[in-house]
Amino acid sequence: MMDSRETPARRSRVIVDQLMRSELYRDYEHAFQEATGLPLSLRSIETFDLPHQDRPYENPFCALIGSTNQTCATCLQLQRKVEEAASQKPQTLKCFAGLCDSAVPIRIGENLIAFLQTGQVLLHPPSRREFSRIARQLVKDGAEVDLKRVEEAYFQTRVLTNPQYESILRLLTIFAQHLAALSNQLIVQEEKAESPQISRAKGFINEHQGEDLSLSAVARAVNMSAFYFCKVFKQATGLTFTDYLARIRIEKVKNLLLDPHKRISEVAFAAGFQSLSQFNRVFRKIAGEAPTAYRERTHKTAAA
């Protein structure tokens, strides 16, 4: 159960664990790796280990490099830099050996939830000259590795063109949007050990979400004082009543926006919003974009 004391990192780990068990993620992970030959990892925020270590499609060169304390520390520093740079949009950085690592953020509105990460790929053919530089750096750092094995693994590294890699990151960006939507649903629908009153309150909210619904009205429906209901609802869901109702309404809006014949104003009022300014503000906060942009993007994705 998520409560008000839970840290963003802890909440991220809980959501990532749920996403990784979902059929949507498992199917996409398998298809992505089979199609590209690249590793894919779903990472919670503030995760301090190598993303692809001992995972399918890990680059053999990176596996050898990451096996020593000296070079492992360098790889971890790169991961931290990639994730810090990717808090708002996808970012790619190169390691000391010239391999790319990329992170694509998964966001719910203003909140960073997790990252999709891939990489360990070269965007140019490997060369003897470049490997000589890498070998000198490894020796200088005191890395205890078999340079012959490292050289063989380096020249087996997957090579892609810039347009190919940009297309792969675009696919991950679209998938991150799908995972963000699923994360929002999990926050709203997550099964919790909760009191019968909270279960009834959720049912009442779902039934009356299209009305001008107040906290006091829900509290009366479950025979609680408004003050006590506010407290226990936040403890049970990790959300205030206002935030929970907003997420419920935005999920309904997203479904209604799939109908191209419905006006955005019609959709907003059908979901229970009392004004367009309130609707636009709440939608942008939760979905991370304007309703018009969301509708255009989902229609383009469906058409593709």
Q: How many domains does the chain have?
A: 2
Q: Are strands 91-94 and 41-44 parallel, antiparallel or unpaired?
A: unpaired
Give every strand in the sheet of 111-121, ordered side by side. 41-44, 111-121, 100-108, 91-94
Backbone angles phi, psi at 112, to 5 degrees: -80, 125
Burial string for 40-55 (b: 16+ CB within 10 Å, else e) reads bbbbbbebeebbbeee
Give 223-258 pLDDT, tens digit per residue: 999 999 998 898 888 889 999 999 999 999 988 988
pLDDT over 80 at 191, yes or no: no
Note whether 147 and 115 are same-domain residues.
yes
Note whether 166 and 103 are same-domain residues.
yes
What is the per-residue pLDDT for 143? 82
Q: Choose one of 186, 215, 242: the last residue of a domain.
A: 186
Confidence class for position 163, pLDDT limits 50, 70, 90 = very high
Collapsed DSSP state (helix, strand, coil) of residue 7: coil
Note whether 90 and 205 are same-domain residues.
no
Nearest to 286 by CA among 244, 257, 256, 238: 244
Note whether 178 and 124 are same-domain residues.
yes
Q: Choose one of 186, 206, 230: the last residue of a domain.
A: 186
3 part of a folded domain = no
302, two tokens: 């469906």
Give 68-81 pLDDT, tens digit per residue: 766 667 788 888 88
288 part of a folded domain = yes
Q: Choose one of 186, 205, 231: the last residue of a domain.
A: 186
For residues 292 and 264, the answer to whether their CB atoms sit within 8 Å is yes
What sign does the CA torsion over 41, 9, 194, 190 have? Answer: negative
**pTM for the predicted model, two decimal places:** 0.65
298 part of a folded domain = yes
What is the per-residue pLDDT for 48? 77
Q: What separation in angstroms does the CA of 219 have from each of 95, 214, 246, 272, 280?
A: 56, 9, 17, 18, 27
Residues spanned by the domain of 44: 8-186
Q: Are strands 111-121 and 100-108 parallel, antiparallel or unpaired?
A: antiparallel
What is the per-residue pLDDT for 175? 94
Note whether 141 and 15 are same-domain residues.
yes
